[in-house]
Structure 1
Amino acid sequence: MHAILTLCFAHIKKRKIQNVLLAIIIMLSTLLLATSVTILMNTNNIFEKTHHDSNGAHQILTMGKDIHNPNTVNNWWQEQQGVSASNLIPYRNLSGFTANGVETTNLYLFMMNTPKTPFVVDRLLFSEGENQDYPTEGTIWIPTSMATTSNISLGDTIEFNTGERAFSLSVSGIVVDLPYGGPFTGNARIWMNDSDYHKQFDTMIGSEEYMMGLRFDDYQQSANYWIEFEKFLKGPYLESKKTYESIAAFYLIINKIIGFIMIAFGVAMLFISLFIVGFSISDAILTNYKTIGVINSLGLTSQKISATYVLQFGLLSVFSIILGLIASTILSRMIIESSLSYLKAGKHLTIIQDFRITMLLAVIILVIVILTAFIYSNKARHVKPVQAIKYGMSEYANNKLNRHLNNSNRLSNLVHLPIQLQISIKNITKNMKSSILIIVLTAITSAILVFSAVIYNSFISNIKQNTPALGYDSSHVVVEVSNDATFSKQQFEQFLRSDDRIKNHAWLDQFTGVFPNGTNQPLNINVDTIEGSFEDVGYGTISGRNPVNKNEIAIGINVAKALHKNLGDTVEVYIEGKQHHLIVTGIYQSIANMSKTARITADVIKVYNATYSASEQSMINLVDETLSAQIVDDLNNKFKSSVKVDTQQTLLDAVYKEVIAVLIIPLSIIGILFIAVTFIIIFIVSRINVRKESGTYGIFKSIGMTPNTIRWSITFGILLLSSLGAMFGIFIGVKVIPVALQSIVLEYGLLELPLVINWPITIGLSFLSVVAACLGCWVSTKIIAKTSPRILLVD
């Protein structure tokens, strides 16, 4: 045992830099895998814990369209055993607010008349502020999502505008509000004091609406309750219903993508580290072949010699895995705190570090490394002392080397290449395994960098270009009617028609549509209703076309999937309590509401309501888009008492920038890690290859070739290999990774990720892996310049 330990530590000490770098690679692969497992495990757990702690609703019902009697509905649910139903909570709708001098118009507000807490369902969890029974007069509670995106803190004053007058309230609490407080949300519940609520809204034109939450003891039985409920109603429930699935979806999407990517690249890094382990052992056996033969002849068995390598890499792995697990706790907390910040009730999220899973992962990685070391170290068992002492290798390997040299000589006679190029080609062809590794490694690194660049370019830099593929319009200016009482649609349209900067416009309303679904629960979804043309304002479809006539409808892909409908099929839908049978003319994808939406023209509503005229939102296209800011100012000044106007770009930036930043940060970290790993591995591989060819390079130096010429020749070969890898990486980052993510994004309403590629930036970033590879090679070959030709020849 003493001999094994002595040889083991001698190997570690002899190649300190190589062993340290290999330990770093194993540590990084452990870091990525452990972090991804922690993220995926905690994402669901944290959401479920928050949902449990808040006694969260499984379904939210909203009423107020004079279709159902809210009290009748609430009373029925209150009487059901196995269901917790909240009381009716009255609210009024507002659009936008002003905080810290900045006006926000893309958030639709439910101004809630706060009942005394704790609520039966959907209890508010305080992230900041004092937990009171209800907001004190003059103050409000706001959700964490609104506070984060608009940089609102406790004590800040928020101004709201009813269209008739403005009023201000200060923030006394920031709360986790699960149903309307997640990423990508376009709504927020503002919890008001009863006195403030009545003071501001009792005289406001329009009707009060109501909201209630349902929590089932067994959510799987909810369908049975709904069957009985619709028997009670003598028909389907025809108003808005928000389900648990839609509440949970967007809290989880970012971390699902991050976890998927981290697992994929963590596994890739682990395989690369295993390759390096095998490569290092093979090189060590080959380099020390004669020494192994001598030791073997002195009585140390091949099994014990093999054990020295297994022990060496086992010790390195234990040290690396421990460091990787420690680092993963820090990285996973950073990512989870960032991506699930909306669920933070207090200073920190309660992140679960499951010791059993962590240890299982550590053991799996350690066993895989030791098994790899054992398999490759078995080559030491085949060392024959006589051949080792005579040839410094096996007789078979010696004959193979001679044949290779003869072939190389014949090749060099046929092709008269510059000596530098011959060195490059020889270095590539003689070390095929390391050449393949360099291609694979740079391909993976480039793929990560390219995918990060494509995501940033598609969802931040060029989000406006991508809106049709995400289910939004691509108009230039969006107008939100904030006060029906003071708004004159006739005057507004007259202004638009008289302005030669306006190219076209359309009006959009939203209704709740109910689609009967056989024995399953009906789909209660938003139906976008347009007065104008969907095509003019840029709404896209993935098949078919948008509706034009009063008997047509376009549906989201998840609606089509749920109803088993395709182009040309007829769907039954209830809108405002009226039944329609419409022909499906188009199917589209939309991340908003997970593609559980539909589109119709205003003519459908006019079938039962001849005087209907859409007046919630207007989308305007300009002759010259650069005039958007000017049009926004003009419309806000002229109709400031009744509308709020913004550019579409402003609204999109507000929704996507923060959420995508959560995704870009982990991708950037992984990219930086792989750049570092590329440098480390190329350094190790090049150092091993230089050592194997030390005699040849000594001859080159002795006949007058400068060290830098030799180094440039070797580096040029690495440049060729890494450039090839970078090209593969571009393909993987643009085509393969998005396809691999399809199973995740499909759940959220996207059949495919709409990508906008900036080729100069994409290509430029991909070649960072090439720079790292060439730099690693150049640094590792510095030994050629430092070492004298005589020592190289002796080595």
Structure 2
Amino acid sequence: MNAVWTLFRSNLRTKKVQNVLTTVLILLSTLLLATAMIVISNTQNLFSDMHSQTNGSHQMLMLENGLHDPKSVKQWWDVQQGVTASEMIPYRNLSGITHHGKEMNNIYMFMMDTPQLPITVDKLIGAQGNVGSAPEAGTIWIPTSLSYSNGIAVGDTVGFKTGKSTFELKVAAVVVDMPFGAPFTRNARIWMNTQDYKELLQPLQGKDKYMMGLRFDNYDTNTQYWERFEQQLRTPYLESKMEFESISSFYLIMNKVIGFVMIFLGAVMLLVALFTIGFTISDAILANYRTIGVLKSCGLSSFGIIGTYIAQYAFLSIIGIIPGLISSQFLSKVIVESSLSSLKTNRSELSVQGDFTAIIVGVSVLALVILCVLFYANKARSVQPVQAIRYGMSELDSNKSTRRLRWNGHHPVGFDRLPVTFVIGLRNLLKNVKGSILTLLLTVITSAVLVFGFVFLFSIHSIQQTAPSWGYDNSHIAVDVFNKAALSHTHFEEDMLSDPRIKNFGWIGEATGVIPSEPSERPGISDTPSMNVHLGVADGSYDDLGYTTLKGNNPRLANEIAIGVNVSKKLNKDVGDMITVYINGKKHSLLVTGIYQAIANMSYSARITADVFKEDHLDYSNAAICLINLHDSGLSDQVAKDINRKYKEALSAVTQKALLDSVYKEAVDLLIMPMSIMGLLFIVVTCIIIYITCRITIRKESKTYGIYKSLGLTSNRIRASLTQGIVALSVIGALLGIGVGVYVLPMLLENILSYYGILEVPLIMHWGGIMAAAFASIVSTGIGSWLSSRVIAKTSPRILVIE
């Protein structure tokens, strides 16, 4: 035991730099893995806790078109056991909002007639200001998602456009509003005083709409309730319905993406660290082969020698794991609070819990390190004392080495015909095959990670270029009509047709479609439940407006429909199948002509043409958005300003870039920090591992480099030769890593985004940035190699030769 302890202390004392860097590797691996696990678990837990605290709804019914009697719907759900129904709350829609004189684009508001609190379902939790029984006259409550993302604070005045006029109300409180308070949402419930609602909104054209939340004791049983409800109605439920999956999706999506990337990269980093530890142990055994033989001949058992390595790396692991776990608490808190800021209030911070999760990660990392050490250190058992003392290696390896030297001596093409600098670098790579393989793998991984991170961030930042692949249109300008009474469609269209700058335009509206329950064709499988889908309605050509499909085509005729990928999967429908859809209470049998992906509504949506309504002799009047394409996209800002100036009382024209930026700028801001941290960590890890492996090989070849120096080669020339060889190998690895980062890693991300309706992640290949990202891995490799060779410059040739 005393011998093991002595060797343990010797290894720590004589290999200080190598031990420190190994500890840093374990620390960084632990940091990434623990942070990812804490982020994922807390994201779900914080959402679930707030959802329970507010008695949040699992489904939100929006009765907008008068197809069902609100009182009858309310009465039926009120008497159901196991379901809690909220009040049936009246509301009106508005889409024009200003703050400090600046109009906020792409925000659609539900102006709510606030009932007396407390509300039974979806209770409002005060984040800022005082939440009483109801907003006072002249004031409103707004959700945290609207407040935090647009800088609206308590006491600010907000203006609302009704078309005919604009009215202003003062923000009295900011509230956590679960169904419409997720990050990135463009919908917001504005809670008004009842008297204000009656005076300001009810005189406007149109009728009140109604909203009601349902909370189930057991959400899994909701299908049974809906079957009975639709039997009572004697028809499918024909109005809008928002499911729990849609409510929760945007609370969870960002941290799921971040967590997935961090777990993947953390696991890769840990595997690289384990491989490096194994490489170091294998090299240490070979380098100390004769010493191990002497120790064995003196009576030290193989287990004692193995125990030395176990003690060393267990000690280093504990030193690295503890600060890694502590750091993960702070990093995960920053990520969670930034991505779930809409759940944060001034009265209570987000409570990030992760002690138990962190301990599990730490114990797992320690166990993996010990198993790795056992596996590689077990080679010490095969050391035979006599062979070790005589050859410094096994007799078999000694014979192989001798044959290799003889064979190289008779090789027809020798190193003497090549430049000295090239020969030294090449010889270093060929003689240390394991180290060269590790270097190649590491640069492949690092460049792949950096390239993938850059491509993903750049693609989200430049989403305008791939908008159709995310389910959006590809038009240049979107015109939102907020006052239909003040706009003559005929006059507006004549102006658009006469403007030489405009290439084409079309109208897009919305409707709710209900796909009724269908009996299953397979025995033992339950019937397909009825499904509410968001319908896009085009009065014009989808293709001209830039909408695309993954499969098939957009609808062109009245009997055609294109469906989202999640609708296709859930109903098992493909191009060429017929589908039954209730639209405004009318039953339609439509032919599926295409399947598309869309992040909006999680692809639980479909596209039809306005001709569907014209077939029933209906005047489709919900087309409130006109999409405009220009001959020159560079004129988008000017054309939008001209339209706004001419029709300022009826509509708002905004460029597509402004609309997309309003949604995805927040996503980019949330992704930049964790992705940058992970990229920086991999660069550091690459530098550390290359330093360790090169330092080991230099120590083994110290005598050779001493001979080179004694023959007249300068230290810098030797160091440059070694670095050039490593850099050349890393260039090959970086090129391979580009392929992995561009083609392989996005496939893993698609597995997560497929749940949200994206089967093929639309990526933009900016090759200048890709090459720069890959070059960063080459630079880190070169720096690690150059720094590791400082020992050559510091040591005299005589000492090197003697060693």
Deviation at 1:404, TM superposition (A): 2.7
- In structure 2, C-alpha distance between the alignment counterparts of 1:698 and 1:753, rounded to whole Å: 54
Corresponding residue number in structure 2 for 1:622:
630
- In structure 1, C-alpha distance between the alignment counterparts of 2:6 and 2:618, rounded to whole Å: 94
Alignment of 1:385-404 (within 5 A): 385-404=385-404
- In structure 1, C-alpha distance between the alignment counterparts of 2:485 and 2:788, rounded to whole Å: 76
Q: CA RMSD in A?
A: 1.5
Corresponding residue number in structure 2 for 1:632:
640
- Are positions 1:746 and 2:747 aligned together? no
Secondary structure of the structure 2 residue equivalent to 1:174:
strand
Deviation at 1:402, TM superposition (A): 2.2
Alignment of 1:275-290 (within 5 A): 275-290=275-290
Q: Deviation per CA, 1:506-558: give whole Å up to 9, x if none.
A: 00110011111313331111111111110111000111111111111111111
- In structure 2, C-alpha distance between the alignment counterparts of 1:713 and 1:100, rounded to whole Å: 63
- In structure 2, C-alpha distance between the alignment counterparts of 1:420 and 1:405, rounded to whole Å: 21
Give the counterpart letter for 1:543 in structure 2. K
Distance 1:230-1:614 versus aligned 2 partners, 3 A rule: closer
- In structure 2, C-alpha distance between the alignment counterparts of 1:96 and 1:297, rounded to whole Å: 88
Secondary structure of the structure 2 residue equivalent to 1:163:
coil
Give the counterpart letter for 2:647 in structure 1. F
Corresponding residue number in structure 1 for 2:718:
710
Q: Which 10-residue stretch deviates more, 276-285 or 316-325? A: 276-285
Secondary structure of the structure 1 residue equivalent to 2:492:
helix
Q: Deviation per CA, 1:216-267: give whole Å up to 9, x if none.
A: 1111111111111111111011000001111111211111122221111111
Aligned residues: 793
Distance 1:290-1:612 versus aligned 2 partners, 3 A rule: closer
Q: Deviation per CA, 1:146-183: give whole Å up to 9, x if none.
A: 11221222222211111111111222222221111113
Corresponding residue number in structure 2 for 1:439:
440
Alignment of 1:650-661 (within 5 A): 650-661=658-669
Give the counterpart letter for 2:511 in structure 1. F
Corresponding residue number in structure 1 for 2:223:
223
- Are positions 1:722 and 2:723 aligned together? no
Alignment of 1:638-677 (within 5 A): 638-677=646-685
Q: Which 10-residue stretch deviates more, 344-353 or 12-21? A: 344-353
- In structure 2, C-alpha distance between the alignment counterparts of 1:54 and 1:574, rounded to whole Å: 34
Q: Which 10-residue stretch deviates more, 88-97 or 283-292? A: 283-292
- In structure 1, C-alpha distance between the alignment counterparts of 2:453 and 2:238, rounded to whole Å: 43
Q: Deviation per CA, 1:186-205: give whole Å up to 9, x if none.
A: 21101111122122113212
Distance 1:136-1:403 versus aligned 2 partners, 3 A rule: farther
- In structure 1, C-alpha distance between the alignment counterparts of 2:439 and 2:786, rounded to whole Å: 14
Corresponding residue number in structure 1 for 2:508:
508
Deviation at 1:123, TM superposition (A): 0.7
Q: Which 10-residue stretch deviates more, 213-222 or 16-25? A: 213-222
- Are positions 1:105 and 2:105 aligned together? yes
Aligned match for 1:583, one of 578, 591, 614: 591
Corresponding residue number in structure 1 for 2:498:
498
Secondary structure of the structure 1 residue equivalent to 2:353:
coil
Corresponding residue number in structure 2 for 1:455:
456
Query: Any conservation in 2 of the 1:182–1:342 contact (CA below 8 Å)?
Result: yes
Alignment of 1:296-311 (within 5 A): 296-311=296-311
- Are positions 1:696 and 2:697 aligned together? no
Corresponding residue number in structure 1 for 2:523:
none
Query: Any conservation in 2 of the 1:448–1:667 contact (CA below 8 Å)?
Result: no
Give the counterpart letter for 2:460 in structure 1. F
Q: Which 10-residue stretch deviates more, 752-761 or 660-669? A: 660-669
- In structure 1, C-alpha distance between the alignment counterparts of 2:171 and 2:408, rounded to whole Å: 79
- Are positions 1:188 and 2:188 aligned together? yes
- Are positions 1:325 and 2:325 aligned together? yes
Distance 1:618-1:706 versus aligned 2 partners, 3 A rule: same
- In structure 2, C-alpha distance between the alignment counterparts of 1:383 and 1:67, rounded to whole Å: 85
- In structure 2, C-alpha distance between the alignment counterparts of 1:497 and 1:110, rounded to whole Å: 34
Give the counterpart letter for 1:687 in structure 2. R
Give the counterpart letter for 2:156 in structure 1. D
Query: Any conservation in 2 of the 1:184–1:250 contact (CA below 8 Å)?
Result: yes
The percent identity for this pair of structures is: 50
Distance 1:265-1:407 versus aligned 2 partners, 3 A rule: farther
Corresponding residue number in structure 1 for 2:522:
none
Q: Which 10-residue stretch deviates more, 518-527 or 84-93? A: 518-527
Alignment of 1:222-621 (within 5 A): 222-346=222-346, 347-355=348-356, 357-411=357-411, 413-414=413-414, 416-460=417-461, 462-518=462-518, 519-613=527-621, 615-621=623-629
Query: Any conservation in 1 of the 2:164–2:486 contact (CA below 8 Å)?
Result: yes
Aligned match for 2:793, one of 770, 780, 785: 785
Query: Any conservation in 1 of the 2:96–2:162 contact (CA below 8 Å)?
Result: no
Secondary structure of the structure 1 residue equivalent to 2:582:
strand
Distance 1:407-1:260 versus aligned 2 partners, 3 A rule: farther
Corresponding residue number in structure 2 for 1:681:
689
Secondary structure of the structure 2 residue equivalent to 1:10:
helix
Query: Any conservation in 1 of the 2:551–2:596 contact (CA below 8 Å)?
Result: yes
Q: Which 10-residue stretch deviates more, 741-750 or 19-28? A: 741-750
Q: Deviation per CA, 1:13-69: give whole Å up to 9, x if none.
A: 111111000000011111111111111211211111111111000110011312111
- Are positions 1:731 and 2:739 aligned together? yes
Query: Any conservation in 2 of the 1:85–1:213 contact (CA below 8 Å)?
Result: yes
Query: Any conservation in 2 of the 1:531–1:614 contact (CA below 8 Å)?
Result: no
Corresponding residue number in structure 2 for 1:172:
172
Q: Structure 1 residue runs of 4+, over 6 Å off?
A: none
Q: Which 10-residue stretch deviates more, 105-114 or 175-184? A: 175-184
- In structure 1, C-alpha distance between the alignment counterparts of 2:196 and 2:478, rounded to whole Å: 31
Q: Which 10-residue stretch deviates more, 725-734 or 384-393? A: 384-393
Corresponding residue number in structure 1 for 2:41:
41
Secondary structure of the structure 2 residue equivalent to 1:521:
coil
Query: Any conservation in 1 of the 2:36–2:259 contact (CA below 8 Å)?
Result: yes
Is there any run of 5+ residues in structure 2 with no aligned partner, and where?
A: 519-526
Give the counterpart letter for 1:136 in structure 2. E
Corresponding residue number in structure 2 for 1:143:
143
Give the counterpart letter for 2:446 in structure 1. T
Deviation at 1:613, TM superposition (A): 5.0
Query: Any conservation in 2 of the 1:64–1:70 contact (CA below 8 Å)?
Result: no
- In structure 2, C-alpha distance between the alignment counterparts of 1:134 and 1:766, rounded to whole Å: 57
- In structure 2, C-alpha distance between the alignment counterparts of 1:612 and 1:358, rounded to whole Å: 57
- In structure 1, C-alpha distance between the alignment counterparts of 2:659 and 2:619, rounded to whole Å: 31
Deviation at 1:638, TM superposition (A): 0.6
Is there any run of 5+ residues in structure 1 with no aligned partner, and where?
A: none
Deviation at 1:495, TM superposition (A): 1.3
Query: Any conservation in 2 of the 1:556–1:587 contact (CA below 8 Å)?
Result: yes
Query: Any conservation in 2 of the 1:223–1:520 contact (CA below 8 Å)?
Result: no
Deviation at 1:720, TM superposition (A): 1.6
- In structure 1, C-alpha distance between the alignment counterparts of 2:566 and 2:371, rounded to whole Å: 46
Distance 1:725-1:517 versus aligned 2 partners, 3 A rule: farther
- In structure 2, C-alpha distance between the alignment counterparts of 1:559 and 1:375, rounded to whole Å: 50
- In structure 2, C-alpha distance between the alignment counterparts of 1:613 and 1:78, rounded to whole Å: 34
Corresponding residue number in structure 1 for 2:521:
none
Give the counterpart letter for 1:783 in structure 2. V
Secondary structure of the structure 1 residue equivalent to 2:544:
coil
Q: Which 10-residue stretch deviates more, 422-431 or 411-420? A: 411-420
Query: Any conservation in 1 of the 2:691–2:788 contact (CA below 8 Å)?
Result: yes
Q: Deviation per CA, 1:648-671: give whole Å up to 9, x if none.
A: 000001101111332232122111
- In structure 2, C-alpha distance between the alignment counterparts of 1:197 and 1:578, rounded to whole Å: 32
